[in-house]
Every structure is written in structure tokens, then in C-alpha cells.
């Protein structure tokens, strides 16, 4: 996983994205969530690519999305009802799915920001719920998903009997 800075520092001189850890895919209605997720990731050393931060005036939206989907090691889909209705959102998460159809590389992370369904192929993807919890819990969930691996607790669970 590439770890480093995002934004302008994480872009090639040509203006295209350099190797980026996470492309954050979202729809306009969910911009605040997308920015919060990207901020949490970046303040913990991961590089991100986010439309509102990285697609500047004069850039071509579809070309930027194409390069972002190809340059990022993984894609974060910010799932909401609006996102699920977005054709651009679907194209973005489907590009990550196509690169990792069995999920072994965990190239697609789905963060639900509201209680919305996960239709079709998204229904088979283990998602992370960020709604209905405190900011600290949501940030911890974002970072645990970014790290990947097992979710074994640091202490022995209480004896159930």
C-alpha cells in the first residue's frame, strides 16, 4: 500500500494522479462525508484522491475519473441512496470490482453513511457502517478497513459462560 501525502503533492507533474492509496468515490450529496473520510485517511498517512480536492478548473471530469480509478490502489465507495442512483458512482466502484472480483486484494471498500441497501454485487461485499456512531468510532472503523487484516481484539474476550 502506498502511504504518503495526497492532494497536489500526490500528483504527477502532468497533473494526473501519482500512485495513490485511496480514490474516494462519492456523489455530490455526500461530499461532506467524502471529505471527512479522506481527511481521516490522510491524517493517518494514507494518500487519497478526491474530486473536490484534486480535479481542478480546466480538467476533464471523465478523464480524471478514469485516471483516478486506474492510479489508486483501492477505491472507497461512500454508499448512500443518492450514490446508488448515480451512474458515475456505479462506474467508479465497478472499475475497482473488475480489478478484484474475488475481493482478495480488498480493492473496493464500501462505507455506508446511511441505512441503505447494497443491491446486486454490492450485496456480496462486506461493508462498514459509519452512521449512528460517534466520530471516534467511525474514524476507527475507517482506519481498520484501510489497514485490512484480522479484527482480533487486543484483549481476551470475556468468558461467555
Show the domains of the chain with their CATH numbers.
7-147 (3.40.50.10140)
Q: What pLDDT does residue 153 have? A: 82
The pTM of the full predicted model, rounded to 2 decimals, is 0.82
Q: How many CA atoms within 13 Å lie on the side-chain side of 88?
A: 15
Strands (E) across 56-141 are located at 72-79, 108-112, 127-129
Contact 30, 82 (CB under 8 A): yes
Q: What pLDDT does residue 18 have? A: 57
Decide: residue 58, CB within 10 A, 0-12 exposed, 13-18 middle, 19+ buried.
exposed
The tens place of each residue's pLDDT in the chain, 161 residues long, gives 333 333 333 333 233 345 799 999 999 999 999 999 999 999 999 999 999 999 888 888 888 888 888 889 999 999 999 999 998 889 899 999 999 999 999 999 999 999 998 988 889 899 999 999 999 999 999 999 999 878 788 899 999 99
Amino acid at each position: 500500500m502506498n502511504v504518503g501525502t495526497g492532494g497536489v503533492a500526490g500528483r504527477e507533474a502532468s497533473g494526473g494522479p501519482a500512485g495513490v492509496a485511496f480514490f474516494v468515490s462519492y456523489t455530490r450529496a455526500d461530499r461532506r462525508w467524502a471529505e471527512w473520510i479522506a481527511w481521516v485517511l490522510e491524517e493517518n498517512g494514507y494518500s487519497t484522491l478526491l474530486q473536490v480536492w484534486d480535479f481542478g478548473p480546466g480538467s476533464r471530469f471523465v478523464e480524471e475519473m478514469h485516471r483516478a480509478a486506474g492510479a489508486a490502489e483501492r477505491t472507497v465507495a461512500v454508499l448512500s441512496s443518492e450514490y446508488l442512483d448515480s451512474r458515475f458512482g456505479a462506474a467508479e466502484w465497478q472499475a475497482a470490482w473488475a480489478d478484484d472480483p474475488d475481493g482478495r486484494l480488498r480493492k473496493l471498500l464500501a462505507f455506508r453513511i446511511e441505512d441503505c441497501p447494497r443491491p446486486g454485487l454490492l450485496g456480496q461485499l462486506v461493508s462498514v457502517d459509519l452512521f449512528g456512531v460517534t466520530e471516534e468510532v467511525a474514524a476507527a472503523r475507517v482506519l481498520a478497513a484501510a489497514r485490512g487484516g484480522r479484527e482480533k481484539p487486543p484483549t481476551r474476550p470475556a468468558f461467555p459462560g
